[in-house]
Structure 1
Amino acid sequence: MPFSSGGMVLPSALGGNGTPAFVSSCAVQFAHHSAPASANTTIRVGWKRRPRGPRAPDERAVVADRVPPLEAAIRGFADRGTEVVVNLVLGTIFDLLVEAYEFYNLHSWEVGFGIHYSKSRQNVNGMKCMQEIVCGCAGKPERENNSSMRSNCAAMLRLHRTDDGGRYVSENRASHNHEMLRTRAEKLHWPSHRHIDTYTRDLVKQLRQNNVNLGKVYTIIGSLFGRMENVPFTKRCLRTFYGKLSKEQADDDVRKTMDAFSELGSNDPEFSCVVEVDMESKIKTLLWTNGISKMQYHNFGDVITFDTTYKTNLYDMPFGLFVGVNNHFQSIIMGVLMMREETIESFKWVFTEFIRLMGGKPPKTILIDQARAMEVAIQQTMPDATHRWCKWHVLRKAKEHLGPHYTKSSDFRAALYKVVNEMLTVDEFEAAWAELLDKYKLHNNTFLIQIFEVRHKWAKPYFSRKFCAKQISTQRSESANHLSKGYIPPACPMNLFVKQYSKLQFDREAEGFQEKRTRLGGIVLRYNYPLEEHASQVYTRTMYVMFGQALYRSGRYDVEEVERGITYKVRHVEAEKREKWGRKMHVVSVHDGGARFTCECGLFEHMGMLCCHAIKQVLIHLGVRKIPSFHVLKRWTVDARDNLPLHLLHYQKDQGPPRLSSYRHTTLHLTALEFVQLGDSNVDAFDRAMDILIAGKAELTVLAPIKSGKSLVDQTQIRDSANPSQDVGSGSSHPDDMCSQMFISTECGLNSVSGEAGSSLSLSTLLPPDRKKQKGRPTTVRNKPGYEVKDARSRFCTVCREKGHKSTTCPRRGDLPKKPRKIPTCGNCGVAGHKKTSCFNPVLPFMKRPRDGPVE
C-alpha cells in the first residue's frame, strides 16, 4: 500500500513502478551493486540535495531617516497614556536581534522581571528566522519541592525575520503568573540586568591585575557612577567576573608569558630571559632581567641578597629576587626568577645562569637564609664568594625559645642586639656572649647554644674583613617580595607575574629624589672640618649622614702615638664606663705615607667607609684635609655610575631605553583627556566632539589592523619555517631578532636545546608546570622553610611544671593513694573474662532488668 496523505496517494512519493520512492531507490542501489544494469535503465542513487540560496545579511541596512524603536517609544509616551515608557507593540521592526533583546530588557526592567533567550529556528540557508525571548521564570522546575524561581511563566516575545534582514515582533505575551519586583536592588539580581559594559570591564581588569581586592574595586566603580546605588551590577556579579578573568588569564599561559617577554624585550634591548625545561618540555625555572638591572649589577653587584620564601603564583612555584643596595643605600632588584624545585641542582642552574646574564662577574658576598641546598650550590658555583646567613633568620625563633627573657621591655633583648649589631672584634663578641649567659643564667638554653656553635656563618665579627656593604640580613629581598604582593594577586599565572615585573622597580622614584637631594640640596656641616666638607662633596647624601655619625663618635677618643707615622693607639676617653668585654683601645696603622689606614675593628673592609677610630687619627693627629682616595669607595660616591660598559651607556644618568612603546599610549591618553574636558564644556562643544570622534574612529578602523611588530612566538614560528635546522636559544641569530635574547635549557645540559631524541625544541613546544591545587583560597603568606616552622605547643605538668608527663603520672605524687583499675565483669553472672552478650549462663529471674523483656 503506497503512502498517502488524507486518503490520497502522493505521486511524488511513488517510484516509477508504483513503489515508494525510498524503496525504489534502495532497490536500484542494491541492483547496481549486485548485477549489471541495462543500457536503457535510469539509475537514481539517494535523495536529491535541497537547494540552498545565498546567505543573507544578519542585519538590516541602516537608514539615516529611520527612527529607532526605542526613540519612537520614548517620544510617544506622553500621547500614549500608559504607565510603561518602553512599550511593546506587535509589528515593531528592529535592525538587529541584539537591539530587540535590549529593547525587551528595558521593558522588563521597567515592569519588574528578567529575560533570557529561548527557542530559535533556522531556515534552509542557516539563518536564524525565529527567536523567542522568554521571562526569567519560564520553564518548570526539575523537582516539585524546591526553591527554584521557575513558575512556568508564559510571558514571552517572539521575533521573526523580515525579507531585508531585520526582526519584527510577531507575538507578545505580557501576562505573568508571578509577582513583579519593585525595587532596584531586587531587579539587579536578574542576570539580564547586571551586565558589565566594555569600558567597566577594562577598568576592572586593570585594577585586578594590580591586586586591588573586590571590595575596593566595587567602591571605585561606585564613585565613577556618582553613588553606590547607581552601579548597574551587583558585587556578586563582579565576583563572577573576577573568576572569569582568572580563568582567562590562566588559559594558554606559556604563549602569553612568551609574548610578555617579547614585549619587555622590544622596549629594552638588554632584556634577557632563560627558561629551564624538563624531559617533558615543562617549564622548571624562569629567570629574567633587564638593562637597568644589569646596569645596577655592574655598579653595585658586589653584595647581593637572595631569598625564595614566597609562592604567590598559580603553580605554587617559589618566587625569588636578587636584591642589592645602590649608592643611596636603597634596595635595587637585579634579577627575578620562578623555580619549581628547591634542590642543589636547581640552585646551581640559577646561580650559573644569573652570573652568565650579568656578564660572568660573580658577587663578592651573597646573603642567604639557612637553606642547605642553596649553601651547597653557592660553594660549587661561586667558590670565591663569601656567603653568610641572614641574622634575622637566625634570631627569629629567639622569642619562642627564650620566653620571658625576650620581650620588648627586657634588658636581655637590648643586650643581645647590642652584641649582635655592633662592629666588634672576635674576642669582644665571645667575651660579651659569655657575660650575657652568666648574667641571665642561660648556659643550658639549647637555642643559644646552637646559634653560638654556627656563629662563624652569621655573626658580624667573623666577617669584619669581608665586604658586605653593611648588610647583615636578607630582609631587603623579603621586603621586595612583600611589596610584590601589592602588585601580584594570589594564584596568578606566569604571564601576569612577568607583566608586573617592571613595577617591582619600586625604588626608582625614591632614587631620583635622592639624586636630586644629593646634587642640589644644601649641606649642613656639623663641625666645619675640611675633612667633613670633602666628604659632603664625594659621598651621596645618605652616606654623608653615616660619615657624620662616625665623625661624631670620633670625638670620644684620644690619639696616642706609638711609632711616628706608622702606628697609633686610639683610646676611649671614658674607658671605665664601657662594658667589661668592650675594647678601650684600638690600634690604627698608617701605610704608604698616609695614603692608606687600617684599624683593628675592620669597619672599612666590612662597609667601605672609614671608622671613627681612623677618622680621629687622620683628622686630629695628622691634620689631613681630604679623605685618602683609597678609602673613598666609588660605589658610595655621587659618580658611582660613570664607569658603565659600552652596551649599557644608554642607561647613563638615569636615561631610559632608546625605544619606548608606551610613548604612543601616553601621548594619546593625555590628549584624549584634554579633548574630553573641552568637549564637556557645553552642548555645542559636545556635538562637535562626537562628530570628530565618529569620523576619526572610522578612519582609524582601517589603519588599526596593521600592527607595528610581532610577538616572540610569531617571530619564532617565522624563523623556524624559514630555517628549520636552526635551534632556538643558540644565540647565533640576527641581533635584531628577539629570540637571540631567549635561551632554553633542558635537563640534558645547560644551554642545550636538544630533546631526548635529538629533536628541535622551540617555544611552541613549551608546556606549563603542573598545577598544585590546594583547598581554600590561595594564600599570600610567606612560605616558611622547615627550620622556621613553629614547634608544637609544649605541655607542662600542673604539679611540677615540667615537660614529659601529666599531673596524673607525676612522680611527685607518690604519696597520694592510687586507685586500682576495676576489673570488668559480666553483667549477667558477675564473672570476669567475658561480657553479657557472650555469657552462656541463663538470665535468672531476680537478675532480670525491665529492658531485657519477659523471661521464657
Structure 2
Amino acid sequence: MDSEFENQCLEQEENEEYEETESSSVQEKNNDGETTKQLSPREVNTIFNSETEVCEYYRQYGLQNGSGIMIRNTRKIDGVNTYLTVACHRYGEPNQKVVDSLKPKPVVKTNCKARVCAKRMDEDNKWHVTQFDNKHDHDLSPSKAHRFRCNRKLTKHAKRSLNLYDEAGIPMNKSYNALVVEHGGHKNMPFSKKDCENYMREIRKLRLAKGDAVALQNYFNKAQSIDSHFYYSIDLDDENRIKNLFWADARCRATYKEFGDVVAFDTTYLTNKYDMPFAPFVGVNHHGQSILLGCGLVSNEDTITFVWLFRTWLTCMFGNPPNAIITDQDRAMQNAIEQVFPKARHRWCLWHIMKKIPEKLKGYKEYDSIKFQLQNVVYDSIDIDTFEIGWSSMISKFNLENNDWLNGLYEGRHRWIPCFVKDCFWAGMSTTQRSESMNAFFDGYVNAKTSLREFVEKYDNALKDKVEKEVNADTRSLSTTIPCVTPHAMEKQFQENYTNDKFKEFQKEIVNVKYCECMMLQSDEAIFNYQVEEIQYVGDSQTLRTVKYNVVFIKDMELEYEVKCECRLFEFRGIICRHIIKVLLFKQNVFTISSKYILKRWRKNVKRCHSRTKVTYSTWKDTEEKRMYEMVCDAFYRIVDLAAENLERCNHLVGTFKKLELEWDTNDKGCSTSIVTKPEYFVKILMVNVA
C-alpha cells in the first residue's frame, strides 16, 4: 500500500516537473481556486515598451514554467542600451575547476540555450524580440521556481518587520520564522532566509556608511541634536580610525548625580569583531539593581587609554569623581585611577580573583584542601589579624611560599580581602555577583560579532529594558507592601521608608536576630561594649559554628547615639546588621532607629532627578518615512478590526485596497504622487468606505 502511494506521488511530481506550456493561452487554477491566464512565449518581432518589460515578461514566463533568468548581454551606443539578451539562469559553460576534489561545489551552469533576445529600434524607440529559444537542456519544476534568486524579492513590509525585529534584539532565525507564519508557510514565501540575512547585512553596512568613525560621529551628532544632554567623545588615530569611544545619554548623567558614589568598571565582558573591549561604568540604584553610568569601547587596555576614558567620563559627569571604584586586577587601570581619581578608594573585584583559583592552583596534589582553606580565609576573616593568621597558616601548611600568584595577591590584600575593604561604603555592590549580573544584562543584545554601529543601537535597547525594570520596581514599592514578620516598631519604620528590595534585606537581618545572643563586656556612662555570638550554618552540610562580633554603643548628652559592629555591614552595604539590632532591642531598649541609619539612597519616597529625565534613546533613528509608515499602520489595524467580523465590510475593504493600489501604481508611473505621500488621504478613504 505504501509503495503504491509513493508511486502515485512520484508520478504526480513528474507531471508537474516536466510539463511545458506550448499554447498561446492556457487556463489554470491557482491555490485559491481562481482561474488565471498562463503566459505564452512571444514570437519574433513582438514589441515591448522598455527593456524592463522584456526582463519582467521573461521572468514571469520562467516562473510559470520552472526556470530562472539572468541578463546575459547588453549592448550600448552612446551610453544607451540598444540590445538585450535575457537567458535561462543555467546559461553558460559549467565551471570545471575543482578547488577541493573531496568537497566539490554544486554546478549551476549547463550551457542551456533557452533565451530571449530583443533590440531597441530607432523608428519607434521600442524593443522588438529578435530571437526566442524555448528549449531547455535540464529538468524544470514550476513548484520550485519561486525559490530562484531572480524570483525572490523582499517586500517593504518584510524589510520593515526585519528592522523592527533586529532593533528588538530578536535573532534572525526567529524573525524569519515569524514571517513564514505570517505568510502562511514556506511555500508562500517570496524570499528566503538568506535574502533576509543579506538584507540585514547590507542595512548594517549602510548604517556604517563609508567608515566607522564618520558614521558613528553622524549618528551621535543626530542623537545630540535631539537630546542636548547626550554626551559622546571619539578618539581617532592619525589615519582617522576609531581608537576609543565613549558615550552617555541624559538619563545616565542624571543617574550619576543620584548614585555615582560607587562605580564598578570592567572590560572583561566582551570584545567585538573589531577587537575593541566593551567598558561599562556600572552603579547601583535604590533597588539594588545594576545601572549604567556611561560606557566606552577601547582599542587597548593600557594606561594611556584608560586615562583618556576616565578623564572623558569625568568631564561627562560634571567633574565629580566617584568615592569608590571597583575594577579587575589590572595594573594599567590602577595607574590610570591613581592619576584621574587620586582620592577614590580603589578595590579589586573579588569575583575575578576567586574564579582564577582552578587555573592557578589545580596542579597541586592537595588542590581541594587548598581551595577550601583559601575560601575560608578570604570570606570568614572578621578582622585583619584573623586574616593574617589564617593566611600564614595556609601558606605554611601546603608549602605555597613560592607561588607567585598567591604572593602577588597577598601584597595587594588591602585592595580585595573583605576585612580590609569593608570599612568603606560600597552600596551593597557585591563583587562576587555584580560582574556576573552585568554579563547577564547584556546577554541577548550584543555579542562578539556585533559591529560598532549595531553595538550602539543594541546598547540602546538594553538600556530601555533596564529603565523599564527600574520603573516596575518603583511601581511595586509604591503600590505594594512587604508584610512585617515581627512586632517591632523598628521593622515597621524600615517598611515605610525603604524600597521593597532593600526592606527585604533589612527584614532578613531582623529575622536572624533569633540566632544571636548578647552579653555586655564593659561600660561607662556613655560607652557600652557588647559581644554578640551568632550561630551560623556553614556550607551544604549545614554544620553549625559560633562567630563572635564586638558591638560598641555610644550615647551623647543629647540622647543621640552611635553604634558600630565589627562585621561592618552598615558601612559596607548601608543595611543595619542583626548584631546591632540585637543590642538596640534587647539591651538598650531602642525600638525606633535613628534617622542617620535610614539612608536616603534606599528610600522609596524620594523624588529622584534621573526618574524625571525624558528617555529618548532611539528617537534619533526615526525617519519621516518610518513615522508615516507607523501612522498608516495604526489606522490600518483599527479599520481591519472593524471589518474582520463582517464579510460585507471585509469584501468592501479588499476592493478599496485594490482600487487604491491600481490608482497609486498609475501615479507612481508618471502622474501626480501627492496621494502616495499623504497617508492621511489613505486613512480618510478607508474610514469612509468601512464605516
The TM-score bracket by the shorter chain reads 0.7 to 0.9
Q: Structure 1 residue 674: deviation in Å?
A: 2.7
CA distance in 2, matches of 1:590, 1:473: 34
Q: Structure 1 residue 597: deviation in Å?
A: 2.3
Q: SS of the counterpart of 1:258?
A: helix
CA distance in 2, matches of 1:119, 1:327: 69
| Corresponding residue of 2:134 | 174
Q: 1:398–1:406: 8 Å Cα contact kept in structure 2?
A: no
| Corresponding residue of 1:97 | 51
| Corresponding residue of 1:631 | 597
Q: Give the unaligned 5+ runs of structure 2.
A: 1-21, 30-34, 99-103, 538-542, 680-691
| Corresponding residue of 2:314 | 355
Q: 1:160–1:169: 8 Å Cα contact kept in structure 2?
A: yes
| Corresponding residue of 1:548 | 507
Work out whether 1:566 is the aligned partner of 2:531.
Answer: no
CA distance in 1, matches of 2:271, 2:28: 62
CA distance in 2, matches of 1:75, 1:517: 72
Q: 1:94–1:167: 8 Å Cα contact kept in structure 2?
A: yes
| Corresponding residue of 2:579 | 613
Q: 1:156–1:173: 8 Å Cα contact kept in structure 2?
A: yes
| Corresponding residue of 1:343 | 302
| Corresponding residue of 2:16 | none
The letter of the residue matching 1:384 is K
Q: SS of the counterpart of 2:135?
A: coil
Q: 1:261–1:498: 8 Å Cα contact kept in structure 2?
A: no
| Corresponding residue of 1:473 | 431
- The 5 Å alignment of 1:749-788 reads none
| Corresponding residue of 1:688 | 656
Q: Structure 1 residue 610: deviation in Å?
A: 1.7
CA distance in 2, matches of 1:701, 1:235: 30
Work out whether 1:597 is the aligned partner of 2:563.
Answer: yes
CA distance in 1, matches of 2:677, 2:142: 45
Q: SS of the counterpart of 1:359?
A: coil
CA distance in 2, matches of 1:160, 1:510: 65
CA distance in 2, matches of 1:256, 1:214: 24
Kindly report the root-mean-square deviation, in angstroms, between the aligned alpha carbons of the 2 structures: 4.0
Work out whether 1:128 is the aligned partner of 2:86.
Answer: no
Q: SS of the counterpart of 2:268?
A: strand
Q: Structure 1 residue 437: deviation in Å?
A: 6.5
Q: SS of the counterpart of 2:518?
A: strand
- The 5 Å alignment of 1:424-463 reads 424-433=382-391, 441=398, 446=403, 448-463=406-421
The letter of the residue matching 2:553 is V
Q: Structure 1 residues 519, 243: closer, same or farther in 2, change over 3 A?
A: closer
- The 5 Å alignment of 1:106-505 reads 106-122=60-76, 126-141=79-94, 148-161=107-120, 167-176=127-136, 178-182=137-141, 184-185=143-144, 187=145, 190-208=148-166, 212-238=170-196, 240-241=198-199, 244-245=202-203, 247-252=205-210, 253-403=212-362, 417=375, 419-421=377-379, 424-433=382-391, 441=398, 446=403, 448-473=406-431, 476-477=434-435, 479-481=437-439, 483-484=441-442, 486-488=444-446, 490-505=448-463
Q: Structure 1 residues 262, 476: closer, same or farther in 2, change over 3 A?
A: farther
Q: SS of the counterpart of 1:366?
A: strand
Q: Structure 1 residue 148: deviation in Å?
A: 4.7
CA distance in 2, matches of 1:449, 1:386: 22
Larger displacement relative to structure 2 (325-334 or 518-527) = 518-527
Q: Structure 1 residues 128, 664: closer, same or farther in 2, change over 3 A?
A: closer
CA distance in 2, matches of 1:277, 1:605: 42
Q: SS of the counterpart of 1:380?
A: helix
Q: Structure 1 residue 342: deviation in Å?
A: 1.7
Identity value in percent: 25
Q: 1:120–1:132: 8 Å Cα contact kept in structure 2?
A: yes
Pick aligned residue for 1:674 from 621, 633, 638? 638
CA distance in 1, matches of 2:71, 2:233: 50
Q: SS of the counterpart of 1:500?
A: helix
| Corresponding residue of 2:683 | none
CA distance in 2, matches of 1:296, 1:403: 43
Larger displacement relative to structure 2 (683-692 or 476-485) = 476-485
Pick aligned residue for 1:85 from 38, 41, 45? 38
1:114-148 per-residue CA deviation (whole Å, 9 max, x = no partner) reads: 21112234456x54343221122323357699975
Name the structure with the higher helix share. 2
Q: SS of the counterpart of 1:113?
A: coil
Q: SS of the counterpart of 1:624?
A: coil
Q: SS of the counterpart of 1:525?
A: coil
Pick aligned residue for 1:583 from 541, 548, 568? 548
Q: 1:131–1:159: 8 Å Cα contact kept in structure 2?
A: yes
Q: Structure 1 residues 164, 611: closer, same or farther in 2, change over 3 A?
A: farther
Q: Structure 1 residues 594, 115: closer, same or farther in 2, change over 3 A?
A: same
- Name which structure has the greater RCO, CA cutoff 8 Å, separation 6+: 1
The letter of the residue matching 1:116 is M
Q: SS of the counterpart of 2:478?
A: helix
Q: Structure 1 residue 348: deviation in Å?
A: 1.0
Q: Structure 1 residues 420, 636: closer, same or farther in 2, change over 3 A?
A: farther
CA distance in 2, matches of 1:510, 1:418: 36
Q: SS of the counterpart of 2:560?
A: coil
The letter of the residue matching 1:671 is A
CA distance in 1, matches of 2:654, 2:179: 24
CA distance in 2, matches of 1:227, 1:79: 22
The letter of the residue matching 1:111 is N
Q: Structure 1 residue 249: deviation in Å?
A: 4.3
Q: 2:553–2:562: 8 Å Cα contact kept in structure 1?
A: no
Q: 1:369–1:474: 8 Å Cα contact kept in structure 2?
A: no
Q: 1:367–1:388: 8 Å Cα contact kept in structure 2?
A: yes
Q: 1:559–1:616: 8 Å Cα contact kept in structure 2?
A: no
Q: Structure 1 residues 432, 672: closer, same or farther in 2, change over 3 A?
A: farther
The letter of the residue matching 1:670 is D
CA distance in 2, matches of 1:83, 1:522: 67
Q: 1:138–1:154: 8 Å Cα contact kept in structure 2?
A: yes
Q: Which has the larger radius of gyration?
A: 1
Question: What is the number of equivalent residue pairs in this alignment?
Answer: 618
Q: Structure 1 residue 635: deviation in Å?
A: 1.0
Task: State the TM-score, normalizing by the size of structure 1.
Answer: 0.64
Q: Structure 1 residues 659, 78: closer, same or farther in 2, change over 3 A?
A: closer
Q: Structure 1 residues 656, 138: closer, same or farther in 2, change over 3 A?
A: closer
Q: 1:368–1:474: 8 Å Cα contact kept in structure 2?
A: no
Q: Structure 1 residue 282: deviation in Å?
A: 3.1
Q: SS of the counterpart of 1:495?
A: helix
CA distance in 2, matches of 1:79, 1:471: 71
CA distance in 1, matches of 2:385, 2:420: 10
CA distance in 2, matches of 1:194, 1:671: 29
The letter of the residue matching 1:285 is N
1:606-626 per-residue CA deviation (whole Å, 9 max, x = no partner) reads: 222222222222233333343
1:706-733 per-residue CA deviation (whole Å, 9 max, x = no partner) reads: xxxxxxxxxxxxxxxxxxxxxxxxxxxx
Task: State the TM-score, normalizing by the size of structure 2.
Answer: 0.78
The letter of the residue matching 1:637 is R
Q: Structure 1 residue 554: deviation in Å?
A: 2.5
Q: 1:568–1:588: 8 Å Cα contact kept in structure 2?
A: yes
CA distance in 2, matches of 1:575, 1:100: 85
The letter of the residue matching 1:548 is Q
Q: Give the unaligned 5+ runs of structure 1.
A: 1-72, 645-650, 705-856
1:317-356 per-residue CA deviation (whole Å, 9 max, x = no partner) reads: 1211001110100000111111122221211111111111
